[in-house]
Structure 1
Amino acid sequence: MSRAAKSGPPPDPIKKPEPPRPPAWRSWLLPLGLLITMVLLFLPSILTGSTTTQSYSYTDFLSKVDAGQVKTVDVDDKGSLSGTLKDGTQFTTQIPTALGNSQLEQQLQTKDVQITGKVSSSGSGWLTVLFSLLPLVLIIAFFAWTGRAAQRSLAGGLGGFGRSKAKIIEAERPTTRFADVAGYEGVKQEVSEVVDFLRDPARYAAAGAKGPRGVIMVGPPGTGKTLLARAVAGEASVPFLSVTGSAFVEMFVGVGASRVRDLFTEARDRAPSIIFIDEIDAVGSRRGIGGIGGHDEREQTLNQLLSEMDGFDQSSGIVVLAATNRPETLDPALLRPGRFDRQVTVPLPNQAERAAILGVHVANKHLAPDVDLEVIARGTPGFSGADLANLVNEGAINAVRAARTTITAADLGAARDRVLLGRRETSNALLPEERHSVAVHESGHALVAALCEHADPVAKVTILPAGMALGATEQLPEAERHLYSEAYLNDLLAVRLGGRAAELVVFEQGSTGAANDLSGATDLATKMVTEFGLSPELGPIGYPAGDAMYLPGAPKEAMHRYSEETQRIVDQEVARLLREAEARAVRLLRDHRDALEWLAGQLMEHETVDGGAVLEALRHETPGLGVRRGAPAVLVADSSGNTTA
């Protein structure tokens, strides 16, 4: 799903006023504090180091006194002596008081030395104490100031772990609208009722109706669930708080629950308002899975979310929107009425919706006259809105490679092959016998598809390698079906095994090229037996697969286990369906051996042919033969076994 083209340029979003800038003097606080600290630490040593002070032994000091070189001395009660020589040199020494030298005073008086006595202090002076403590005080003040600044900026203390990380979109900010979303009218109606309730709750109250407390959107990836939420933000004239499920998860216990509380507090302060939680399965998974108790971080976060949505505090004016690809993993308490009242499925777009979505993505691009969006929509069943956007982008890239600004139908066809099969391998040169084998293989797929009554018509056959595929046969359904008959599935099995059957008819032996063909056919036959009830031996019994609903390959619940005898019957029935399909394909190709050889020759010569060449091959044998056409999905079968539906 994607946005539709707008009638005019979108209005510029109204920017929120920027917070006031801090005063310029704040930027000078840190360097100034560091400078003062350095001065206080090193100034005393610098000042004392500016005058030269000599340290003499007591013997040298006495020699200086006898020589008459001493001018003044300062003596304290601990025997420390300092003074000045007549040449201005300052000196220090220590009087050995243990020797009891009482003649020093007489010697100093004899030489006319000025004597000064002083008493040493037991502690440091207040200035010294201040100098020693001031750097520590400055460091503590700096950390206190930065901590308060972080608290103001993060609004949650150190690091702000407990604060919500929601993006708040205020009511006056324009954004995507429902009119900008292509297709999905039913889904938009479901979600638009939420917006209508918030805008005019009195209308619902007059009828005695209560508005929904929560709406959860489920569906495959890329279908536009988040885009719908953005459209709600654009339509609602109320604040919109957006957050992802993973934003609640942290390594610290209790942080997730704190963020949930803060999120709903912000929503109540702005009520009426809308909260959107994307990928809610990250925080809303079932409790107790794997034997984990009720005190781990994820479960505390979920419990807080349950309490906020429908606890004792029956807050009004808040609607919670959520999106997920895995609804089967959510806790049942989260999905009950009163919390998420509605579950809206956002499926893959149908053919008409795909055409509308393609029209959105090509609105600002130059298209050649041969581009038919309806044909492209027919050939892309199972594509999501994101896939279609990628398809158009790949087509534009192909046009740029050819030094063009106009996108042609061939560009979009090559882009479709790139999405389904992979990059075209122009340097992958095949041996002549390999090239002939690929041509026969693809011709078998195409002819069986043309000869089966319920198979889709062939659109293109190629033997050019792409990705892991050495060739491809593409079928284009004329209409999109949602139910498939047993006859169609049997024909589909025959088409998948048509390449191997052609090798058996022409070369009388198989090859590794049918590996993925066999894998895809086996998967289909297994579903026919175990899920669709199309086996007369097993009867109308269904054993659901263990894959997630919207994420194929992801584990869901444990599969229903059945007995070994039932498994044996399943294996026998799957093998029977595959043998019958292969025998049918071999029989058809033997009956039309000339057409098979002619089509293989055309592929060897032209490398790529369209569906008309397949009909022409059959007309060489049977004039006037038409193709009986059915209708569901695209099948791409390649010679390396890469089969894509």
Structure 2
Amino acid sequence: MITSVRLGVRHWTRSAKPGPPREPPKPSPQPAPPLWRWLLPLVALIVLIVIVVRSVPSGRTPSLSYTDFVAKVGAGQVRTVDINDKGAVSGTLKNGTTFTSRIPVALDTSGLERQLRAEKVDVTASQSSGGGGGALGTLAFFLLPLVVIGGLFLWAGRRAARSMTGGVTAMGRSRAKIIEAERPTTRFADVAGYEGVKQEVSEIVDFLRNPERYALAGAKGPRGVLMVGPPGTGKTLIARAVAGEAEVPFLSVTGSAFVEMFVGVGASRVRDLFGEARKRAPSIIFVDEIDAVGGRRGSSRLGGNDEREQTLNQLLAEMDGFDQSTGIVVLAATNRPESLDSALLRPGRFDRHVTVPLPNQAERAAILAVHARGKTFADDVDWNVLARATPGFSGADLANLLNEAAINAVRAGGTVIDAKDLDDARDRVLLGRRETSNALLPEERHAVAVHESGHALVAALCEHADPVAKVTILPSGPALGATEQLPEAERHLYTESYLADLLAVRLGGRAAELVVFGEGSTGAADDLAGATSIAARMVREFGLSPALGPVGYASGSPQGLGTATTEESLQRPYGERTQRVVDEETARLVGQAEHRAVALLRAHRPALEELAGLLTARETVDGSVVLDVLHRPRDTQAPADSRAPGGPGTPGTTGGA
């Protein structure tokens, strides 16, 4: 069963207004490059050229085989011979030409030596140089790698030095995104709903536009405005709308951008942020998720606590230090106001706290109309009906709903979105993907139909319960079936009668199983958990138990902003004896709700069996079918054997309170 009470947010659009072109900043003169930047590559190039030139032979010298060399010696044609230690021979002939040759290593050269002496050839000996470049080439061969390595180390050192000077300075600069007043993007007219919030922050716009009016009256504008609301309620876009209406620069930064691993960097960024705001005054500073840096000091946190506290101290000092006549207003947003430091919330820093609530039914209709731009809808789509069917939806949820509906329309082969596409998209958002492969056994299918019929009939029979909109036994997500109820109007207060009916509807599925099959099943697990939670709050928080009396123990979690942590939930403000009374009264309320649901279904057993049969055949019926079955005269009701051929099934429902 679905009782949708999810939280929602507003949605808005942005209209871009082009401003006058800005002159590009003049480039600053570049300093002359240092000497080593061009000298080092030049030296390396010269050394490389020398090596190449020295290694290339100066002329073409003929190479003789050893046999030809010996023959020329015997013919008396050789004038000089130079032999090195590796057997390489070079020399000149008597006609002036040069030659080279090589003596085989394993060859006996005593005969060659006698022949050279007999021909009176000038014989010299030398040692091989090991390279073709001589002494200079050898020197260059060893120096070149050293020069290259030294150049790399020098370049890395210069780069590290620049990082330690300019880099640290840049690290301490603020990471705020600056949007100049010449091109504001958002106005109050672009924000759907939020009329109360707009009226409350409009004074900031008037102060930024006409500060002299407040000065004449001796009034001071607010230093800071803290916007509190559930996640995604549009606090950032409302701050942009304030800047757009006031036509002032908007400096936006997140709270986590101040905190770094280096001590002092966050405080430096805070100083730089307020310095930029002073240069552009009047201006708006917007700090999103301020709880990341503005948490209570002295709280036990792991790592980075000193840096966070230094950043917070600098933020407090800056908010005290700037002159209000300059027209600087600090806007901040958070969904955890209970975690902020008390010094940050006092008057003189954040003077005003603006609550950004969730959208009501009329605002959801306006948000849907905004998201509908650019899409084609059929004539059967009514935004008021859809807004009524989406209580607690946020702007992002509504945008996702319309997008899912458009996807459904395209999947069906069309481009026009109709009411069925929106209904299927709503089921997808609330229940999850439709499990077409999750085939149920015949007895399970009938058990799910009985379970959901119990929810629907009890909801129709209870005076204060919300009307039934749809009943289905098609599996979606973890649920094997669902009963959807839509409230007729937006509820803000819940009476004891309404809560009692809500408990009975929750347990209607289990009661139907007890009436038809004589035993319960695991399909009522979510229903029991939801009913137990509601009953416990009735006893512990709402004072609706005569045994405990008009005493309320709040859970300690912020209203609509989040859930209590495990540590908070373990710190109960009452003892074990009170807890025992709470448990007993919770069990009593749940038991009474089950007995009431069983009695209602036994009194309308034929309607239960007929509705279960219709669900088994059709899989989905709307609320009008439930009312028709319930109000049909008894003598025309078709009796049916609703007992399944097998054992109990495993129906599943989805519920939420």
What range is the shorter-chain TM-score in?
A: 0.7 to 0.9
Matching residue of 1:175: 185
TM-aligned CA deviation for residue 621 of structure 1: 4.0
Work out whether residues 11 and 396 of structure 2, in 8 Å CA contact, stay in contact via their aligned partners in 1.
Answer: no
What are the residue-to-residue correspondences of 1:563-582 with 2, within 5 Å?
A: 563-582=575-594
Aligned partner (choices 616, 624, 636) of residue 612 of structure 1: 624
Q: Secondary structure at the match of 2:519?
A: coil
Stretch of structure 1 that moved more, 288-297 or 274-283:
288-297
Q: Please tell me whether residue 403 in structure 1 is matched to residue 409 in structure 2.
A: no
Q: Please tell me whether residue 457 in structure 1 is matched to residue 467 in structure 2.
A: yes
* Alpha-carbon separation, structure 2, partners of 1:88 and 1:551: 99
What are the residue-to-residue correspondences of 1:358-373 with 2, within 5 Å?
A: 358-373=368-383
TM-aligned CA deviation for residue 551 of structure 1: 4.0
TM-aligned CA deviation for residue 404 of structure 1: 1.4
Matching residue of 2:596: 584
Residues 424-469 of structure 1, C-alpha deviations (whole Å, 9 max, x = no match): 1112110000000000000000000000010011010000110101
What are the residue-to-residue correspondences of 1:480-519 with 2, within 5 Å?
A: 480-519=490-529
Matching residue of 2:45: 39
Q: Secondary structure at the match of 1:289?
A: coil
TM-aligned CA deviation for residue 222 of structure 1: 1.9
With structure 2 as the length reference, what TM-score do the two structures score? 0.78
Q: Secondary structure at the match of 2:484?
A: strand
Q: 1:485 to 1:414 in 2, by over 3 A?
A: same
Work out whether residues 2 and 227 of structure 1, in 8 Å CA contact, stay in contact via their aligned partners in 2.
Answer: no
TM-aligned CA deviation for residue 237 of structure 1: 1.6
Q: Secondary structure at the match of 2:331?
A: strand
* Alpha-carbon separation, structure 2, partners of 1:438 and 1:33: 86
Q: 1:540 to 1:156 in 2, by over 3 A?
A: farther
Q: 1:88 to 1:248 in 2, by over 3 A?
A: farther
Q: Please tell me whether residue 328 in structure 1 is matched to residue 334 in structure 2.
A: no
Work out whether residues 244 and 280 of structure 1, in 8 Å CA contact, stay in contact via their aligned partners in 2.
Answer: yes
Q: Which amino acid aligns with 2:176?
A: A
* Alpha-carbon separation, structure 1, partners of 2:32 and 2:413: 56
* Alpha-carbon separation, structure 2, partners of 1:492 and 1:208: 55
Q: 1:88 to 1:163 in 2, by over 3 A?
A: farther
Work out whether residues 226 and 350 of structure 2, in 8 Å CA contact, stay in contact via their aligned partners in 1.
Answer: yes
Q: Secondary structure at the match of 1:419?
A: helix
Q: Superposition RMSD on alpha carbons, in Å?
A: 3.7
Matching residue of 2:548: 538
Q: Secondary structure at the match of 2:300?
A: helix
TM-aligned CA deviation for residue 618 of structure 1: 1.0
Aligned partner (choices 570, 580, 593) of residue 605 of structure 2: 593
Q: Secondary structure at the match of 1:407?
A: coil
* Alpha-carbon separation, structure 2, partners of 1:14 and 1:574: 67
Ranges in structure 1 where 5+ consecutive residues have no aligned partner: 53-66, 72-83, 91-110, 114-123, 625-637
Q: Secondary structure at the match of 2:456?
A: helix
Work out whether residues 164 and 260 of structure 1, in 8 Å CA contact, stay in contact via their aligned partners in 2.
Answer: yes
Give identity over the alignment, percent.
66
Work out whether residues 225 and 331 of structure 2, in 8 Å CA contact, stay in contact via their aligned partners in 1.
Answer: yes
Q: Please tell me whether residue 253 in structure 1 is matched to residue 259 in structure 2.
A: no
Q: Which amino acid aligns with 1:239?
A: P
Work out whether residues 11 and 395 of structure 2, in 8 Å CA contact, stay in contact via their aligned partners in 1.
Answer: no
What are the residue-to-residue correspondences of 1:125-524 with 2, within 5 Å?
A: 142=155, 156-158=166-168, 160-290=170-300, 296-311=306-321, 316-524=326-534
Matching residue of 1:117: none
Q: Please tell me whether residue 553 in structure 1 is matched to residue 559 in structure 2.
A: no
Ranges in structure 2 where 5+ consecutive residues have no aligned partner: 1-8, 59-77, 83-89, 101-121, 125-135, 637-649
Q: Secondary structure at the match of 1:243?
A: strand
Stretch of structure 1 that moved more, 305-314 or 569-578:
305-314
* Alpha-carbon separation, structure 2, partners of 1:564 and 1:244: 44
TM-aligned CA deviation for residue 142 of structure 1: 4.9
